[in-house]
Each structure stands twice: as C-alpha cells, then as structure tokens.
Amino acid sequence: MEFPTLGRRRLLELGASGVTAAVLAACAPVPEGLEVATASVHSGSFTSKFRPDTGTNWSVAVPDRGADGDQRPLPVALFLHGTGGDHRMIFEDLRAADVLSQHVAGGGTPFALAAVDGGESWWHRRATGTDTQAMVVEEFIPLLAGQGLDTGRLAVFGLSMGGFGALLLASQHRIPGLRAVAAMSPAVWSLHDAARTDNFDSAEDFAANDIFALRPELGALPKRIDCGTSDNLLYSVKDYVSGLPGEHEGGFQEGGHDGGYWRSILPDVFSFLGRNLA
C-alpha cells in the first residue's frame, strides 16, 4: 500500500500493520516571501472489536510548526471518508497534507488531520454487528490521544457518506466538547428508501439515525456544509440546510460530486476547522 507523490517527496511505502512516518513538501504556490511548512504523515493499523473481520488502518498528518512555534499538543480534525474510500482518501484524492501545509504556512491554526477506515458502514451500527461510529469514539480517538494529540479539542468532517457520518456523530453527541462539524456533499435524505439496504438496514434503522430529525441537536455547534450545484444530492442537501438551527457556514458552489470539487473547497474547510480548533 503506497501513497502517491505529494509535493516533491514521495511517502514511504506503508507496512501491513506497522507505523510509518513520512514527510512531504508542499508544492502549491504560496505568497512571495512566505515560508512553506511541511506535514509529517504517520500511518498504522489496529484490530477493532467493532470491525472484527478486517484490519482497521489509519493515517495522521501533523504540520511542522518549526522550532520556535507553539509546541503544545495539537488539536485534531477527524475525517470520515466516503463510499469506496478508506483512510487514504483524504491524502491521495484531495492532497490534504499539502493543503494542511499551506493552511499553516498562511497563518492558520495548526491542527492534526486524522483519518481511519470505516468500510461501507455509513458510520453507524449495522445489523451485522459492525459499528464504526463506536470504533471512532471508543478506539480511534483514544489512539490519537496516545499519539500525543489534544483530543479535548476535536472537530469532525467528512464527504458524501462520511459527510453524513460526521453530521450524525455530531448530532448524537458522542464526542464531549466537540468544537465543530463540516460536511462536504453529505449524502443525506429526509425519507427512508426501502429499495436500498447499503445505507440503512430498515426503516427502524433509518429512524434511529435520521439526521433531519436530529438537526435541533446542532444548534450551538459551529457547522459548515457545502455541496456542488451539479451534484445529484444538491436539493436534498439544501433541504437539510434549510432546517438547521443557528448560523452555519459553507454554501453551494459550482461543481459536482467529485474530487475536483472537494479539492476546490478544502482550503476553506480547513480555515473553518482551524478557527474553531484555536
């Protein structure tokens, strides 16, 4: 398993179960005279009691704050991937380590970026016994604390299936003191579709995880939601956003349900996360 080339350095090949550290140089243009930061990406795996039939891999990107920078433990932005993806999605498809480097180089609040495998579970407990939401809360977040990160300052964000998962996790208050939630093109529906079983096991399962009904739970939490104007989910996302209590950031920009759109908004998403993790 190997990361693609990001910046001018190539990430080291990952072991099947070990932890690998790599450093990459940010290669996107920066303002003249601005020093370019770097981000170290560490990866590993663990065995989850909530995903007993498969290994669970993870990656964490940590920005370089320099010898003179604030060396206190970093807050964490936790990313939940979409369908067909895994912990590498945010780094391979969206080049997030480069974006994080540029965010810090531009004076944004430094934070660690963490991602973990969730399979096709839709980030909630399923009839099979898989429960990736519990895996995140009870296993992965403590693992991040063990890596020396400040999990008392944590935000969650995701895209598509993971956008739904991030909103659900925030709405169900599974993370005490959560600082913010962001969703890119979240896969949200106001009604259960009995013809589908990939996202919910039954009407009862849908009702237990109905984020439309849970919208009042997000009233006080900083939130950002974005969706492309050519995305098939646009009208459902607009419907969801129209009933959100309190203020929210984000919007509906030109683009589809694809990496090009998500890469275009990721710097603004990181700015939102950084402000609320400060």
Domain boundaries, the chain: 5-277
Q: Which of 13-17, 29-33, 118-122 ranks highest by mean pLDDT? A: 118-122
Identify the residue with better confidence: 111 or 3. 111
Across the chain, the runs of DSSP E, i.e. the strands, are 5-6, 9-10, 20-25, 38-47, 55-63, 76-80, 112-116, 154-159, 180-184, 223-228, 249-253
pLDDT 10s digits, 146-190: 999 999 999 999 999 999 999 999 999 999 999 999 999 999 999
Its pTM stands at 0.87
Distance between CA atoms of 157 and 180, rounded to whole angstroms? 8
Does 244 score more than 90 pLDDT?
yes
pLDDT 10s digits, 20-48: 333 333 333 434 444 445 788 999 999 99
pLDDT of residue 77: 98
pLDDT of residue 70: 75
CATH label, 5-277, candidates 3.40.50.200, 3.10.20.30, 3.30.70.260, 3.40.50.1820: 3.40.50.1820
Quick one: CA torsion of 185, 189, 190, 191, rounded to 10 degrees?
170
| From 66-75, 102-111, 205-214, the region with the lowest mean pLDDT | 66-75
pLDDT of residue 277: 98
DSSP structure string for 54-114: SEEEEEEEEE---TTS--SPPPEEEEE--TT--TTHHHHTS-HHHHHHHHHHTTPPP-EEE
Distance between CA atoms of 231 and 63, rounded to whole angstroms? 32
Composition of the chain by helix, strand, coil, percent to 5: 30, 25, 50
| From 64-68, 179-183, 246-250, the region with the lowest mean pLDDT | 64-68
Strand order in the sheet with 38-47: 20-25, 38-47, 55-63, 112-116, 76-80, 154-159, 180-184, 223-228, 249-253
Contact indicator for 228, 261 with CB cutoff of 8 Å? yes
pLDDT of residue 71: 82
pLDDT 10s digits, 205-222: 999 999 999 999 999 999
Could you count the other beta carbons within 10 Å of the beta carbon of residue 126? 18
pLDDT of residue 12: 28
